[in-house]
Structure 1
Amino acid sequence: MRKYNILFFSIVAFSATIFAQTKQITVEEIYRGAFQTEGMQALRSMKNGKQYTILNQDRTTGNTSLDKYDYKTLAKVETIVSSESLEGLDKFDSYEFTNDEAKLLLATEIEPIFRRSKLGIYYVYDLEGKSLTKISETKIQEPSISPDGKMVAYVADNNLYLFDMASKNTSKLTSDGEKNKIINGITDWVYEEEFALVKAYEWNSDGSKIAFLRFDETNVPEFSMDVYGTGLYQKPHVFKYPKAGEENAIVTLHMLDVKSREISKVDLGKPYYIPRIKWMNNPNKLSVQTINRHQDHLKLHAVDTKNNTVEILLEETDKAYVDITDNLTFLADDSFIWTSEEDGWNHIYLYSEEGPLMNQITKGNWEVTKYYGYDQNEDRIYYQSSENGSINRGVYSISSSGKDKKALTAKAGTNSADFSADFTYFINTYSSTTTPNTYSLHNALSGKKVKDIIDNSGLSEKLKGYTMSKKEFSTISISGNDLNMYMIKPKEFDAAKKYPLFMYQYSGPGSQNVSNRWNGANDYWHQMLVSEGYIVACVDGRGTGLKGRDFKKVTQKELGKFEVEDQIAAAKKLSELPYIDEKRTGIWGWSYGGFMSTNCLLKGNDVFETAIAVAPVTSWRFYDTIYTERYMQTPQENANGYDDNSPFNYPELLKGRYLLVHGSGDDNVHVQNSMRMIEALIQANKQFEWAIYPDRNHGIYGGNTRIQLYNKMTNFIKSNL
C-alpha cells in the first residue's frame, strides 16, 4: 500500500512538472496584467544631478508619495510629499517642479479628453512651508508655474488665465475663447493628434512674457459621433475635425506682457501650421517653427519680442515632407542643435545663433532615433541611434565637432537612457526579445555601469513555466529590398509538418514592428497562437522607418500601394517554404495595419485566406488633414492616390474570411470608415464578420473589452485559418 502511494505521488508530481513546463498563455492573463514588467514611474532628475524623484503608489491604500533617491547609492533619501499628509488630497497622479524646486504642481481627478489632452484639479505645494494651494475649484488644462514661482498660467474653457499665488487672485487673460470656435493656449484636435502638441503657450525665462497660439476653427467642419452611455437617449459628441482637403483652423501667434497684461499679435507672414514655439535662453528671443500645408517646406523663425520683429534662422525643404520633432536645443550663446534627414538619414546638426550651419555632427547610413541633450561643460552630445543595426538601439555620445564618438550602451537589443540634470549619470533601460526590461545606473562620460537597479528576473522566472518560442530575426528580399522580418515557430517545430501562417504588421510611414525589444501585449498573444500550432511572421515593408529617407518616403502620394505589394509578395515567398501551408495564410493589423490587412485580403485574394482589421482606415478621404496630406497631398490634387487603394472601392475582390472591428467612439479613425466598408461588402453580396464596440475609442479598451476582443479574434483564427 505504501509503495502504491509513493508511485501515485511520483506520477502526480511528474505530471505537474510537465504541465508547469507546458502551460499556455491565455488572453485573460495578458490583459489582466500577468506579464507586466516592473519599471521606474515618473522618474525625474533633480537639478543637482545627484538625486532623482519617483512617484510611488501604495497598492494597498492607494496613497501616493513623491520620493527622492540618490543616484550613486540608489537609496531613498526622503519622501518629499505624501498624499497621507495632504489634507483634502487623497492622491495625486502627476507632479512637476518649479525651476528652483521650491514648489510642486500636483494633479488629481484627471479626466482624459483625447489622446494627450486632459482636465484635472491642480494644486501648488510649497516644500518649505508645506502648504497646499488649490489653483481652481473647477477642472483646468495645462497649468504652468512661472519661472519665479509666483504665478500659475492655465487654460479653462478655451481661455488663458493667470493665478497669483500670493493674493490668490485669478486674472482672465483672453476672453474670446469658445467651444468649437476659438481656442487660446491649447491646440485643436488635429494638432494634438498629429503634432503631439497640447500646451500651446510658453513662459519666457524671466517670466515677463507668455507666447501663445490662438486657433480660429470657425470654418473647420464638425464631426459628430453618438455616445450611447447607459441613459435612455444617446448623446452626440460634436467636435472640429478637418478631414483631408477640408479647411484647417487659422493659427496665429500672440505675445502677452505679464506686467501690463497687454497682448500683441506677431506677424509671421500667414503661416499655414505653427507646430512648435520655444523660447531661447535670451528672454526676448522666441523661436517659432512654421510649415506649409504640404509640409515640405519648414521655416525656423526668431522673434525679437521687444518689437515683435521676425527673421528666418533656417529653412528646410524635402520632395516628400519634413518631420516635426522636439530636438531643437539652444546652447548658452543661443547657437542651436537641430536634427534633419537632409543627407538621406536622420542626423544631428549644429547651427550658429544667426542661423548658418556650423557642422554636421553625426554621419552614416543609420538613424539618430532620440536626441537626449548636450553637456556644455564636457562638450558631449548624447543620443540614441540604430548604428548597431536597424532593429537595435544603442546610446552614444559625441563632441559637437563630430569627433570622439563613444558607444555608451550598445548591446544588441534596445537601449534607452534617462540622464541626470548635470549629465553625471544615466539610467539605462535595456531589453531584447529574450530579456525583459532591465534598469541600470551608468556613468555618462564613460558609459561604465555603476550598478543594477531592476532586472525583472521574477517575470523571467515566471515565463519559464509557459510555452514560449524564440523570435527569429532575418531579412526577406522583396522588389530588390532586404526587408526586416521576424518569425515565431511552435516550440516543438517539425519541418516535416505543414503550419498555417499568420502575419502581423502595421506598415505606416516611419513605423517599425520588427525590433529587438521585449514583448508587448500583442507579442504575448502571438506566443499563445504559436503554442497552438501557428507560425507568426512580421515583415516591415517599404515605407517603414530606420532604413533611410528614401526607403521611408517611397510611398509618397500613394499610401497602401507598395506596402500592400510587399506584404503579398512576402506571404507568397514564405508560402514556398516546405513547412508553410500555402492554403492557410492570414494577416491582421490595427489602424494603419487594419487598412493594410483589408487591402491584402482583397488585392492578394489568391494569397491570403483570412484577415482581421481592427479600427481600419478604409479611405484616406476620411482621415485628418495633417497626417494624410503630409503623405498624400489633398484629395483635390491626388484623387487617384486616395481612391486606388481604398478597399471599399473593390469589395467584389473579397474571397477569404474577413473580420472587421471598430469602436463607435473612435475620435481618431472614425467608425464611418468601417460603416462604408460594411455597406460596400453588403452591396457586393459578400459574407463577413464584424463587431462594433460601443463608445470605445481607437484603443478599444476598458473593463473586459480587450479580453472579449482578443478572444473573439482567437476564435475567428481557429475557425478560419
Structure 2
Amino acid sequence: MKQILSFIAILCMTVTLSAQEKKAFTLNDVIPGGSNYFNLTPKTMPGLQWWEDVCVRADVEAIKRINNRTGEESVVVTLKEVNEALQNGEKPYKLLAPIKPLHTLQGASLPWGNRNLLMFSGYVGDEEKSESYVFFYDFVQKKLTNMFRIQEANAANFDFCKENGYLAYTAGDHLYIANHGDFSTAVSPHLTGGKEIDNDIVYGQAVHRNEFGIMKGTFWSPKGTYLAFYRMDQSMVTDYPQVNTTTRIATLVPDKYPMAGMTSHKVTVGIYHVKTGKTIYLQAGDPTDRYFTNISWSPDEKDIYVIELNRDQNHAQLVQYNAETGEKKGVLYEEKHARYVEPQHPLAFLPWDETKFIYWSQRDGYHHLYLMDTQKPQAGEWKTGKDADDTYCEYLQTTPLTQGDWLVQEILGFNKKMKTVIIGSTEISPLQTNVFSLDVKTGKRTLIGKRDGMHRAQLSENGTFLIDNFTSNDVPREISILPTDGKKGVTLLTATDPMKEQYNLPEISIGTIKAADGKTDLYYRLIKPVGFDLNKKYPAIIYVYGGPHAQMIHNTRFYDARGWDLYMAQQGYVMLTVDNRGSDNRGIQFENCTFRQLGAEEAKDQVEGVKFLQSLPYVDAGKIGVHGWSFGGYMTTNLMLTYPDLFKVGVAGGPVIDWKYYEVMYGERYMDTPQTNPEGYKSRDLKAKAGNLKGRLEIIIGGMDPTCVPQHTITFLRACIDAGTHPDLFIYPEDGHNMMGRDRVHLHEHITRYFLDYLK
C-alpha cells in the first residue's frame, strides 16, 4: 500500500513539474512572419494532389503514390532522376544555356491521369541572367517530352489547360499563351513598337476589383478550343496618387481607383480561338456601369454564360452567348433584391447530363443550389422568394437541390458514377464547413468525414475519393483519404499541437449572446488570461472585424483566435471577439441588415459584447479596449467615437473613415452611391465625429495602401486637428493594406506596446 501511495505522489509531482516546465511564448512564436511561427503549427502533408483518381504526394525528394485504401506509399519519380534528365538527358530542342537543377518536387503536378507525365517549372541560365521554362518529364521513358519558355518578365496568373497543353499567363497588362519552344503567342494586341498600355487597358486579369467571386481573368473552354478572357478598360478611371518614398525624390505611382459614385472601368469578355488566332468579343452592348461576373462554358463549347449585374447591384441576369460569334442568345434567369444581389459562383454542368446545370442563389435567404434544365424553356413569371425582399424569374425549368436555414459554401465536384455532387456547407453548424455527398435526384445528403470541425477537401477527378484536411479546436490536424459514399477511409496524418505541448496557453471558450435587436444569437469567443485568477480584475480588449464576408469564430484550432489574441491573454488581458450582424455565413438577412448604414447595427452588437464583459466579475469595466483591421479598423474608430465612455484605448489598422473614399464595387453594394444615399454617407462619415474622441486612439496604415487609401486617415487627422482631439499615427512606408513577414511581427509588437502603455 505504501508503495502505491509513493508511486501516486511521484506521478503527481511529475505532472506538476511538467506543467511548470511549459514556457511563455513570444510574438515570434505566434505571428506569421515570426522566426519560430512555422515550427509551432501542427504538422501537415504539403504537396497532396490527385493524379486522376490516384492520390500522390509531391515531396522534396520524390513524388509518391498513396494507396487510397491503405495509405501505403510507393515512389513514382525521384528528384534525382528528374535532375539527371534536365542536366544530361535528351532535350526536345537545343538550349543556349544549361538548365538549373531543381531543389524540390513540391511544385510539380501530374495533369493527365492516363499519361506518365510530370509538369514543373524551372530556370535556364546563370544567376545574372536566367529564363523561366515549363518542362514535361515522362517518368517511364525517363526523358523530357516538351519544354517551353516564358519569355516575358514578371509573368503571372498562370492558367494551364490539360486538354490542349497550353499555358495562359499575363505579363504587364498583356495576355499570352505558350505551348512549346522559345516563343509565346500574344492574345492581346500590342501597341505599335510593343509599348505597354500603361495600365489603361488590361487583359486576362481579374476585374471589378476581385468582387463577385472573381479571382482570375482567363477561362479555358472544356476541350481547350477557346480561351475566354476579361478585357478591362481603365482609361476613364481616376488615378489615386500613391507615392513611393524610396527614390531620391519621391515618385508618383498612381493606382486606378474608382471611388463610390464616380466613373468606373469598362469590362468586355473576349474569346480567343487557339488554332485560328482570332478573337471575338461578346456582344453585350454598352458595358458602362455593369458587372460581368462568373464566366462559364457549356460542355460542348458552343455557348458561354455570364451573370451580369447592374451598377446598383440589385438586378442580376444569367445571359447566354454564342461562343463562335459572340451574339447574345438570351436571358435564362433573373433575380432582383431590394438591397443587393451578389452572384459569386459560375454554373456547374452535370457531367452525366450536359443539358442541366447548377445555379447558386440566396433568394430563399441562404446560398442554395438550383438545378436548371436547358431543354425545358418556359415563359418567365416573376415570383417572390422566401426572402420577401427577393424576386426572381425563371426562363428554364428549375428545381431546388438544397433548402434550409444553412448555406452551401462550395461545390467540390461530382461523383459521376453515383450521380452526386460533393459540397461543403454549414448544415451542421455556422461555425463549421462539413462535406456532403448530395444526390441530385433525391436531394439526400450523406456526410463525408467527421461531424466535428472545419474540413478542406480536394476531390479526385472521378469524384470517388477526396483528401480531407480536418481541424477543430480539439483536433490540431487530421488528413485522410475518404470515399465519397460516406464509408470509412484511411487516415494519413494525425498531428499534435506544438503550442499546446510546449507553452502555457490561455483558456478559450465560445458561446452566444443576444444581438442589440434582442432576438438574434451572436457567437462570441472569450479568452481568459494565462494563469487566470478569479479574484483579480483584468483589462479587456475586443478584437473586431464585423464586415461582410468575414467570420472571426470557427471550430478550428483555438476557435480561430489569432496569435496576437493569445499573446495579449499572456500579458494579462481578457480577449473577446463577437461576430456581429453583418458578418458572414448566417444568411442574407443577417448580413444585409446593415444596408446603407454600415457600422451602425454592427457597433450596437459590439456594445452588447461590452455589456457581456462588464457582467464578468473578473473584468475591469473601466478598462476596455478595441482593435481591428480594415473594416475592423473602421469599426474600432467608429466604436471609439460613437461610444467614447465605453472604450478607453483603440488601435485601428488600415481603416475606412469616409465611405465616399472607398471603391465602387464593395462600397456601392452596401451603401449605394453618395448621390442616392447622402444621409447614409453623412451619418457614417467618421470625420464628423472626430471631436468625440476621449480615449487613446492610434491609427496604423501602410504608406501605399491600395484598398483603404491613405486619404481616409489623412483627412481624419485634419478633422481631429480642427476638433482639438489627439489621435496617434504610425505608418509602414511602402507597405500595402497588410504588413507581411518581419513587418507583421513589428506591427504586433507596436500594437502590443500601445495597449501596455495605455490600458494597464
Amino acid at match of 1:27: L
Counterpart contact for 1:107–1:123, Cα < 8 Å: yes
**Aligned-partner Cα distance in 2 for 1:598–1:442:** 47
| Matched pairs, number | 685
Deviates more, 1:409-418 or 1:238-247: 409-418
Shift in CA distance, 145/486, structure 1 to aligned 2, threshold 3 Å: closer
Partner of 1:20: 21
Matched, 1:289 2:304: no
> How big is the shift at 1:400?
0.9
Deviates more, 1:563-572 or 1:499-508: 563-572
Superposition map of 1:290-439 within 5 A: 290-310=308-328, 311-326=330-345, 328-332=347-351, 333-354=354-375, 356-439=396-479
Partner of 2:135: 124
Matched, 1:641 2:680: yes
Structure 1 unpaired stretches of 5+: 1-11, 59-64, 110-119
**Aligned-partner Cα distance in 2 for 1:304–1:622:** 39
Deviates more, 1:295-304 or 1:92-101: 92-101
| Other structure's SS at 1:552 match | helix
Partner of 2:272: 256
- Write out per-residue CA displacement over residues 400-423 of structure 1, whole angstroms, 9 at most, x where no aligned residue: 134332222352322332222222
Counterpart contact for 1:433–1:471, Cα < 8 Å: no
Partner of 1:41: 46
Counterpart contact for 1:564–1:599, Cα < 8 Å: yes
Superposition map of 1:404-553 within 5 A: 404-446=444-486, 448-457=487-496, 459=498, 462-463=501-502, 465-480=503-518, 481-519=520-558, 523-553=562-592
> How big is the shift at 1:541?
1.1
Counterpart pick for 1:232 among 244, 248, 251: 248
Superposition map of 1:600-619 within 5 A: 600-619=639-658
Amino acid at match of 2:527: I
> How big is the shift at 1:553?
0.7
Counterpart pick for 1:88 among 100, 111, 114: 100
- Write out per-residue CA displacement over residues 325-377 of structure 1, whole angstroms, 9 at most, x where no aligned residue: 23521113231112211111111111112562431111111122222222232
Counterpart contact for 1:572–1:607, Cα < 8 Å: no
- Write out per-residue CA displacement over residues 462-513 of structure 1, whole angstroms, 9 at most, x where no aligned residue: 24x3233132323334322221112112354444432222111110113211
Partner of 1:277: 295
Counterpart contact for 2:122–2:135, Cα < 8 Å: no
**Aligned-partner Cα distance in 1 for 2:220–2:456:** 30
Counterpart pick for 1:106 among 120, 128, 134: 120
**Aligned-partner Cα distance in 2 for 1:408–1:145:** 30
**Aligned-partner Cα distance in 1 for 2:446–2:273:** 45
**Aligned-partner Cα distance in 2 for 1:449–1:415:** 16
| Other structure's SS at 1:634 match | coil
Deviates more, 1:259-268 or 1:544-553: 259-268
Counterpart contact for 1:30–1:521, Cα < 8 Å: no
> How big is the shift at 1:383?
1.5
Counterpart contact for 2:507–2:530, Cα < 8 Å: yes
**Aligned-partner Cα distance in 2 for 1:694–1:306:** 49
Q: Where in structure 1 do 4 or more consecutive aligned residues deviate above 6 Å?
A: 12-16
Partner of 1:8: none
**Aligned-partner Cα distance in 2 for 1:655–1:279:** 57
> How big is the shift at 1:153?
3.5
Deviates more, 1:498-507 or 1:353-362: 353-362
Structure 2 unpaired stretches of 5+: 1-12, 87-98, 124-130, 191-195, 376-394
**Aligned-partner Cα distance in 1 for 2:122–2:338:** 46
Partner of 1:159: 174
Counterpart pick for 2:605 among 566, 574, 581: 566
**Aligned-partner Cα distance in 2 for 1:617–1:287:** 35
> How big is the shift at 1:75?
3.5
Shift in CA distance, 263/369, structure 1 to aligned 2, threshold 3 Å: closer
Counterpart pick for 2:737 among 695, 698, 710: 698
| Other structure's SS at 1:423 match | coil
Counterpart contact for 2:515–2:608, Cα < 8 Å: no
Partner of 1:185: 204
Amino acid at match of 2:41: Q
Shift in CA distance, 700/458, structure 1 to aligned 2, threshold 3 Å: closer
- Write out per-residue CA displacement over residues 667-704 of structure 1, whole angstroms, 9 at most, x where no aligned residue: 222222222222222332222322111111212123x3
Shift in CA distance, 307/13, structure 1 to aligned 2, threshold 3 Å: closer
Partner of 2:223: 206
Deviates more, 1:406-415 or 1:245-254: 406-415
Partner of 2:7: none
> How big is the shift at 1:291?
1.1
Matched, 1:72 2:69: yes
**Aligned-partner Cα distance in 2 for 1:280–1:425:** 26
Amino acid at match of 1:181: D
- Write out per-residue CA displacement over residues 550-575 of structure 1, whole angstroms, 9 at most, x where no aligned residue: 11111111111111121123213431
**Aligned-partner Cα distance in 2 for 1:411–1:628:** 37
Partner of 2:634: 595
| Other structure's SS at 2:489 match | strand
Shift in CA distance, 513/152, structure 1 to aligned 2, threshold 3 Å: closer
Deviates more, 1:141-150 or 1:649-658: 141-150
Amino acid at match of 2:232: F
Counterpart contact for 1:665–1:696, Cα < 8 Å: yes
| Other structure's SS at 1:501 match | strand
- Write out per-residue CA displacement over residues 6-46 of structure 1, whole angstroms, 9 at most, x where no aligned residue: xxxxxx9999745423x222112113214223223343211
Counterpart pick for 1:52 among 44, 50, 55: 55
**Aligned-partner Cα distance in 1 for 2:498–2:18:** 19
**Aligned-partner Cα distance in 2 for 1:359–1:643:** 44
Partner of 1:9: none
Counterpart contact for 1:359–1:401, Cα < 8 Å: no
Counterpart pick for 1:241 among 222, 244, 257: 257
Amino acid at match of 1:617: V
| Other structure's SS at 2:754 match | helix
Shift in CA distance, 169/709, structure 1 to aligned 2, threshold 3 Å: closer
**Aligned-partner Cα distance in 1 for 2:618–2:418:** 56
**Aligned-partner Cα distance in 2 for 1:268–1:453:** 50
**Aligned-partner Cα distance in 2 for 1:146–1:295:** 33
Counterpart contact for 1:327–1:371, Cα < 8 Å: no
Counterpart contact for 2:367–2:587, Cα < 8 Å: yes
Matched, 1:216 2:233: yes
| Other structure's SS at 1:687 match | coil
Partner of 1:117: none
**Aligned-partner Cα distance in 2 for 1:94–1:14:** 44
